[in-house]
Amino acid sequence: MPCDDSPLCESLRRKIAHVLSVSGLHDLRPLLIAKMNDVLNLDEAEALQGSPALRKPSKSARVTALVGGGEPKEFIRQAERLTAAWSREGVEISSRVSGQHHHFSVLDDLRVPQSRNYRMLFG
């Protein structure tokens, strides 16, 4: 994700015009209390570091948070969370709920040049 503290050098960051986040987890804090954290072993510092919605974004690229309408509600909430947080920071960002796609089919439309998702990403 295009954050100000990205390890990418500035010349590379300037070449990125559009970032597509697909079914992203943009705020990892809910995982701290989830059963799966018994395996992940995330601590609060790691959750914050891995949460782009909580970090300072770079304004160098347009961002789209794409999520399938058939995905668990948490994925949709995460896309909305990133969009709300980064739009307040002046980032050109939008979220898109794509039909009834699920976590494994949300990219299918990118194979169809006539689809809205294809046009959104490739123009």
Residue 59: give its domain's CATH number: 3.40.50.1820
pTM for the full predicted model: 0.87
Answer yes or no: is pLDDT of 1 > 90: no
Instruction: Answer yes or no: is 2 within a domain.
Output: no
- 47, part of any domain: yes
Query: Which strands form 62-68's sheet, in the order they lie side by side?
Result: 18-22, 62-68, 93-98
pLDDT at res. 52: 96
Question: What range defines the domain where residue 99 resides?
Answer: 10-122
In whole angstroms, give the CA distance from residue 71 to residue 68.
Answer: 5
pLDDT of residue 56: 93
Using the predicted structure, report yes or no on whether residue 123 has a pLDDT greater than 90: no
Does residue 30 belong to any structural domain of this protein? Answer: yes
Q: Does residue 2 carry a pLDDT above 90?
A: no
- Overall average pLDDT of the 26-49 stretch: 97
Q: Which residues pair with 95 in a beta bridge?
A: 65
Q: Which residues contact 23 (CB under 8 A, 6 or more apart)?
A: 66, 67, 68, 71, 75, 103, 106
Give the span between the Cα atoms of 45 and 49, in whole angstroms: 6
The answer to whether residue 4 is domain-embedded is: no
How many C-beta atoms lie closer than 10 Å to residue 48's C-beta?
14
Least confident of 35-49, 54-68, 109-123: 109-123
CB contact at 8 A, 82 and 24: yes
Mean pLDDT for the stretch of residues 5-34: 93
Average pLDDT over residues 52-61: 93
The span from the CA of 95 to the CA of 24, in Å, is 11
